[in-house]
Amino acid sequence: MYCRFLFSSAALALVCAAPAQAQTLAFPPFIAPSGGPPPFKMKCVTGKPYSLASKTSTSTRLADGTWTTTVLEQRKMRDSEGRERTETTNGSGGSPVVSLTDPAAQTIVTLFRFNKTAILTHISLPKPPTPEQEARLAEIRAKAAEYRAAHPSGDETDIPPRTIAGVSAEGKRRIITLHAATLSNGDPVRVVEETWTSPDLGIPLASTSDDPRGQKIAMTVTDLQRAEPDPSLFKIPADYQVTERQN
């Protein structure tokens, strides 16, 4: 896992599907109002800086058969030390949320520009499992593997590469079968996801998700630069009020 935090299709759907009046802040998926992430070891990619801009559109089919589309805009950057900065706006004029990650310090920061405040979360390292917990985990893994063998849900294939924002990206298509969900004709739901990833930078440059139940998500990087970002962009501004917490 890289030290970046990417929006999953589900997280984007939750933000994009919310009513416009509730979208004054687009919270990143790892710092939600309800609390922070669980303990984990932050890993990072060093020596591969970049700055990019991307747009993600989510189209949802309403009960009357019409479609509504919302857009998220992001600016992301990573320095040579592996620190990352993400700025997210929801396209409706709300205040952007800025997140900073520092894997060396095991911290995640969320900056709120509208009131110049910051939440600094110290990420705890996971504790080694006890023998009892390890045995329980092994049992859960075995049952999960047995279920996956009986209910295959993923079919991944290579698709033609693309050049996105001047960068070559390798393509993958994954068909996810949701056996617990069915369409009106009784067939299981099959969600088709396509992703184009830069093998050098290790980040997705474009992706699509098509859910036949009525949701289409598309993300595209519109600009990408390989220069080293300004180091000050990865620090909390001096005039911000900081609240610290331990996850």
pLDDT of residue 92: 67
pLDDT of residue 191: 92
Residues 18-56: tens digit of each pLDDT: 333 333 333 343 443 445 567 888 888 899 999 999 999
Q: How far apart are CA 214 and CA 184, in angstroms?
A: 13
Residues 120-153: tens digit of each pLDDT: 999 998 888 899 989 999 999 999 888 877 776 6
Q: How far apart are CA 53 and CA 96, in angstroms?
A: 14
Query: b/e string for 210-242 if b means 16 or more Cβ within 10 A?
Result: ebeeebbbbbbbeebeeeebeeeebeeeeebee
pLDDT of residue 21: 34
Q: How far apart are CA 100 and CA 106, in angstroms?
A: 11
Q: What is the pTM of this model?
A: 0.75
229, 79 Cβ separation under 8 angstroms: yes
pLDDT along the chain (247 residues), means of 10: 38 38 36 57 90 97 94 95 93 80 94 93 89 91 85 82 96 87 78 96 96 95 97 96 92
Structure tokens at 193: 């996801």
pLDDT of residue 24: 34
pLDDT of residue 120: 96
pLDDT of residue 10: 36
